[in-house]
Structure 1
């Protein structure tokens, strides 16, 4: 603990706004990184979301970061991105309509405030912040229309075949949850045919005489989505392979965006994705963080979040959301030791801290760690070696459950 305290920096607050002087050291830790992953120990804790908002604001205003990528679908992010760039639409309505089904835990006041701040920042900034979706569980009708509109103006001969290949997908009902349920309900043979068509549409565009990298990315996402819907999640081998594919694809999307734009990007995801090592390799064999390190080397920085205890929201197997509690951290866990540091809330550069041999040994030993899934019931304390998983850890003494955006009356 003495060694950790030497490198720990007090965090003034987990709430965004006010002075960022206490984050100066954090900003310096990110220099040299083009992609900074900021994890969350749960998908449903208020302070984990607000501290992420606070770190994002610091990186945008002080370090020139220009994108915020999330573990949400590409098409959902496209709507949010349009809002933060132009003010198009009603943000509450967008979040309500896009953050459904597995994404419903993100429809919170905390993210409403985060995107609201990005919109205000973009009103006057010469370097607007974009919003990027790394996931591919859904594609809205507008995504197909963007592809077809581009083709009509640049490769009109492709339009009839593209329409044929996307016909079944475009025929799915509107509404994220309704569309995903209808897609899942299709017979497996039909879902496999759809995946073949989506792959063929992508090949058609990738082999065209005229190409647009953004259109290709839209088509690539659709192909990834269609492949995912052919998975039998009751088969452990298929589920494990699909999880592997998902983390790899999210990493490739973040790298694609960074290289396409040249800007620095914050990647927001669960700790289980942002980390270099998986806490549950039987389900997630290789993490997005490991893929990012492979793809860009030390241009990726992994930041984990940690908590001693508190509340979080999660969904049951039937899809209902509830509030649950964990902690305080048990003796022998990573959080138990972190919480003994004299600061209530703090962040620590684990790369620097491991210069102390005693700390280095502690960091490299796997011990129980809060890695709280979005589903309940769960097993929230798998073994993880912090020093092998993250470069930086932000520790919070206690957290409250995130606050859902109220439904309109």
Structure 2
């Protein structure tokens, strides 16, 4: 549907508000983890459950996703947690929760802007729980934690070379030659894209593709020694390939770079499911803009797709897409990219938004589900088109309409919605390691 087609139809009807009030199921606070999580048992038959967030800095969203994920792991056999974070940073958490030995890294994890997105007390609490949950399980049965994103060019190059140094020094030397022209840009990858696209430098595309191919061609030899280590190296090589493309494509337009990024996230999720084998089930934590079906939003009408849409196409009804929303409160966000985190006040939702409809429905916290597309709530939602708010790592309340709202058809975008009328900002971690925490604790500086 073209974006312009929604403009004259955008409104919130009394019928929609009444339906949301009637079908919304009041939720306990997310800190009552068992009671909160029990409401989500209905999604336990899915292969992939994607949990969104309307901001990258709201405590309730993180705590709710933690409670839901705990339930899906404990009661429904989910084995993978995959998040909107870089693969090497998330690998620190994976080592910690699966009780692996520490491995060499270039530097501390989660230090790139926005640090608060994963370096916060809410994530740390979930990670500690997951480590405890895994303690009594066999190595093969432990729940793993992974990053889906592509922004770790330097750390991923380092990971590939470190792996090959250990298992095949000759192949490591060849990898260094392939990565040599890209390595000077590894800490300023956007400058690499500019050098190639704007200033005519040769790209490193062929070299990074060749390195990934080399790891795949010799997979049987490498997997005989350590299949987990090989898989990690391959995923890092895939990140290098995707990042090299991304920083060139970003100069061609936002649609191309967005699609490349979400295609990589989806491919990584698929690789994880295949790697964990038959019966593997995944929970995804990412922003609503990645989790909700892009085809039902203005971004999709303008040519963008996302991991939620790709999961629907690949897994059908076995993919469940759950959005999150709020009206007012505070949020951890910056005023501009690469600027310090602030605790900002979230403005009340616009009257022509879905958030305002949920507010008018009267629930402080609620789960509203419409997976049955022929049910009464789904039919009412299908007749509505409204704005939806998306706050990322940057929040500009003074230009909120232009910066943070977009048109959406909620009925097709998600299968369910988790609502909090009032929310608070996440609490960033300091740099210290807690007393008694093991060496692999992933958040130390």
Report what 2:269 is aligned to: 254
Is 1:241–2:256 an aligned residue pair?
A: yes
Distance 1:302 1:86, change over 3 A: same
Give the distance between the partners of 2:348 and 2:108, measured in 1 at CA: 33
TM value normalised by structure 1: 0.85
Does the aligned pair in 1 maintain the 2:29–2:36 contact within 8 Å? Answer: no
Q: Deviations over 1:102-151 (max 9, x none)?
A: 45533211111121111121112353221111011114155123541475
Does the aligned pair in 2 maintain the 1:191–1:229 contact within 8 Å? Answer: no
Distance 1:283 1:78, change over 3 A: farther
- Residue 369 of structure 1 aligns to a residue whose secondary structure is strand
Is 1:134–2:148 an aligned residue pair?
A: yes
Residue 94 (structure 1) shift: 11
Q: 2:351 aligns with which of 331, 337, 355?
A: 331
Q: 1:13 aligns with which of 18, 23, 29?
A: 29
Report what 2:361 is aligned to: 341
Does the aligned pair in 2 maintain the 1:43–1:106 contact within 8 Å? Answer: no
For residues 95-134 of structure 1, what are the structure 2 equivalents within 5 Å? 97-102=109-114, 104-126=116-138, 127-134=141-148
Does the aligned pair in 1 maintain the 2:122–2:426 contact within 8 Å? Answer: yes
Is 1:400–2:424 an aligned residue pair?
A: yes
Report what 1:176 is aligned to: none
Report what 1:188 is aligned to: 195
Residue 291 (structure 1) shift: 1.0
Give the distance between the partners of 2:411 and 2:111, measured in 1 at CA: 33
Residue 71 (structure 1) shift: 0.8
Give the distance between the partners of 2:96 and 2:368, measured in 1 at CA: 35
Q: CA RMSD in A?
A: 3.0
TM value normalised by structure 2: 0.79
Give the distance between the partners of 2:219 and 2:271, measured in 1 at CA: 21
Does the aligned pair in 2 maintain the 1:310–1:400 contact within 8 Å? Answer: yes
For residues 9-408 of structure 1, what are the structure 2 equivalents within 5 Å? 9-15=25-31, 18=32, 20-28=34-42, 30-86=43-99, 97-102=109-114, 104-126=116-138, 127-139=141-153, 140=155, 142-149=158-165, 152=168, 158-169=171-182, 180-181=187-188, 183-186=189-192, 188-189=195-196, 192-208=202-218, 210=220, 212=223, 214=231, 215-233=233-251, 237-262=252-277, 263-277=280-294, 278-281=297-300, 285-320=304-339, 321-352=341-372, 355-356=375-376, 360-377=379-396, 379-408=403-432
- Residue 152 of structure 2 aligns to a residue whose secondary structure is coil
- Residue 37 of structure 1 aligns to a residue whose secondary structure is strand
Residue 286 (structure 1) shift: 0.9
Residue 285 (structure 1) shift: 1.0
Does the aligned pair in 2 maintain the 1:191–1:226 contact within 8 Å? Answer: no
Unpaired stretches in structure 2, ≥5 consecutive residues: 1-16, 224-229, 433-444
Does the aligned pair in 2 maintain the 1:3–1:353 contact within 8 Å? Answer: no
Does the aligned pair in 2 maintain the 1:10–1:22 contact within 8 Å? Answer: no
Distance 1:94 1:46, change over 3 A: farther
Report what 2:439 is aligned to: none
Residue 157 (structure 1) shift: 6.0
Residue 77 (structure 1) shift: 1.4
Give the distance between the partners of 2:133 and 2:300, measured in 1 at CA: 39
Unpaired stretches in structure 1, ≥5 consecutive residues: 173-178
- Residue 420 of structure 2 aligns to a residue whose secondary structure is strand
Residue 168 (structure 1) shift: 4.3
Residue 87 (structure 1) shift: 6.5
Does the aligned pair in 2 maintain the 1:144–1:170 contact within 8 Å? Answer: no
Does the aligned pair in 2 maintain the 1:68–1:267 contact within 8 Å? Answer: yes
Give the distance between the partners of 2:259 and 2:394, measured in 1 at CA: 19
Distance 1:99 1:48, change over 3 A: farther
Bigger shift: 31-40 or 280-289? 280-289
Residue 352 (structure 1) shift: 3.7
